Chain A
């Protein structure tokens, strides 16, 4: 089951660049929350603060509180533990190139010490079914490499890989931006099914996608969160003029 995320006074820096300023946000459990905004507005940085990937950059710094469920992820846990509970899918599909499909999905488990063949088989099958890829690859699990699949399939493989470690939250950073419309539609259907079990946060600059999949949408601009509301409201009658200008495409 998914958990809610509570963000309080989150600030983030890349060296001297104040990338996120005083972000306050409540992400509801078992729903899809979309984050939109122009390039460089901080939405990707924000999402990377939720699974402590932001700090993998040596000049990165974070202050503020992020509660995932009841856990203060910066005070009460180590980054490695957090990343097992908060999964991430990236913009460009990045399956491990030297591994088979099976090994890719099982990677998170194998590298963390699980080795029971029986258990792994079960988890791999379940994850691939949950990411709507099982039927397409079930005969080639160990024969084909992850990198030999098509773009859309690779992305679903990455989703399966993230799901295999059984996270509570799934972060998706523009998951369909490198994919064609058919693959995009499949991913969106998948997201709709997944939210029953996970809390999903999706960064996108495709507003129609945000409108299609998310219950709540947050608009980021220049490191601040300008407006956060139900998706319907944001896209039919936003409260802030900056939001309106962005989603109607009027700049300048």
Chain B
């Protein structure tokens, strides 16, 4: 019985039992109405919040879906076996494909990953496990953040001066380096964060078994955080897969086949950029197709990694 009803009765009513009971009921009735009103408001605001959340999700996903749909619309018709197996035809001739660009992107990303992933993960391990609180760790973290903010074109120019100019020629290698450096901050910070999320209890358990610290870090902490670390690598990978600017002055692009690291090489984003800016309709169509292929390949690569790594997970482990 709430204060409401009590107040009603305390209001000095001595009308006998029956009288009291009717007063009590009246008090309770008023209480119930208030209660229902508040409940109604609660349900309404709950529904409003849910609606807002759904709306926000739609707003976020919509552009993505729209882009994809538009790409399919514009580019799917130009897809053919030729697209995937032929190199570009000389200007003026119809047809050709972007096979060399696809290969080129693959090589550049491979080189970039070979540079970016180990350096990034090592940096992350250092920041989280060995250098916590030290000045060096501060410096490393700061550097990574700055590196993250460097515009991609500047990155390209930097690698140009550092590698292309001394070597005297554009190369796939320099392109890979540029992409790799861009991967480092993302991989490093994500690795650090994922490692920090590993509960201290796990580290202590390993130490208490008499396992040396470095071994415990590698075999246990890193392994526990590995799903997150892999996600970080994939994020970095997906980001640089679409980068064009750093490749302009490093990989440079190539109209023919190339799989050697020491020579200029083509790349999907680069090729799309060149074709899109060209005045030829044929090349425009190829550009649309290329964009679609680029997105699909990135999605495929990411899914493949997810699938492969999740197959090794045991029953019940998170």
Q: Do chains A and B touch in the complex (CB under 8 A)?
A: yes
Chain A positions within 8 Å of B, measured between CB atoms, are: 51, 53, 56, 58, 80-85, 87-88, 90, 92, 94-100, 107-108, 111-112, 143-145, 147-148, 158, 161-162, 165
CB contacts under 8 Å to A, within B198-219, are 199, 201-202, 204-212, 215-216, 219
- Asked if residues A53 and B315 are in contact (CB atoms below 8 Å), the reply is no
Asked, given contacts A144-B316, A145-B314, A147-B317, whether A112 binds B220 with beta carbons under 8 Å apart, the answer is no
- Asked if residues B315 and A83 are in contact (CB atoms below 8 Å), the reply is no
Can you list 22 contacts pairing A with B, beta carbon distance less than 8 Å? A53-B204, A58-B133, A80-B210, A83-B208, A84-B209, A87-B208, A92-B201, A94-B201, A96-B206, A96-B220, A97-B318, A98-B226, A107-B206, A108-B210, A111-B206, A111-B216, A144-B314, A145-B314, A145-B317, A147-B318, A148-B315, A162-B208
- Asked if residues B209 and A162 are in contact (CB atoms below 8 Å), the reply is yes
In the complex, which residues of chain B have a beta carbon less than 8 angstroms from the beta carbon of A148? Answer: 315-317
Chain B nearest CB from A42 CB (Å) reads 18
Known pairs A83-B210, A144-B315. 18 more at Cβ < 8 A? A51-B208, A56-B204, A58-B133, A83-B209, A88-B208, A94-B204, A96-B205, A107-B206, A107-B209, A108-B209, A111-B209, A112-B211, A143-B315, A144-B314, A145-B315, A148-B315, A162-B209, A165-B209
Chain A nearest CB from B3 CB (Å) reads 36
In the complex, which residues of chain A have a beta carbon less than 8 angstroms from the beta carbon of B133? Answer: 58
In the complex, which residue of chain A has the Cβ closest to the Cβ of B201? Answer: A94
Q: How far is the CA of A83 from the CA of B211 in the complex (A)?
A: 8
In the complex, which residues of chain B have a beta carbon less than 8 angstroms from the beta carbon of A147? Answer: 316-318
- Asked if residues B314 and A100 are in contact (CB atoms below 8 Å), the reply is yes
Chain B nearest CB from A105 CB (Å) reads 11
For A84, give its contact among B205, B210, B215, B223 (CB under 8 Å).
B210
Q: How far is the CA of A58 from the CA of B205 in the complex (A)?
A: 18
A-B Cβ contacts below 8 A, count: 88
CB contacts under 8 Å to A, within B165-214, are 199, 201-202, 204-212
Asked, given contacts A84-B210, A96-B224, whether A90 binds B318 with beta carbons under 8 Å apart, the answer is no
Q: How far is the CA of A83 from the CA of B204 in the complex (A)?
A: 11
CB contacts under 8 Å to A, within B16-36, are none
- Asked if residues A161 and B316 are in contact (CB atoms below 8 Å), the reply is no
For A90, give its contact among B201, B210, B314, B316 (CB under 8 Å).
B201
- Asked if residues B208 and A98 are in contact (CB atoms below 8 Å), the reply is no
For A98, give its contact among B211, B215, B315, B317 (CB under 8 Å).
B317
For A145, give its contact among B199, B205, B226, B316 (CB under 8 Å).
B316
Q: How far is the CA of A234 from the CA of B202 in the complex (A)?
A: 36
CB contacts under 8 Å to A, within B271-318, are 314-318
In the complex, which residues of chain A have a beta carbon less than 8 angstroms from the beta carbon of B209? Answer: 83-84, 87, 107-108, 111-112, 161-162, 165
In the complex, which residues of chain B have a beta carbon less than 8 angstroms from the beta carbon of A108? Answer: 209-211
For A94, give its contact among B205, B223, B315, B318 (CB under 8 Å).
B205
In the complex, which residues of chain A have a beta carbon less than 8 angstroms from the beta carbon of B204? Answer: 53, 56, 90, 94
Q: How far is the CA of A97 from the CA of B208 in the complex (A)?
A: 16
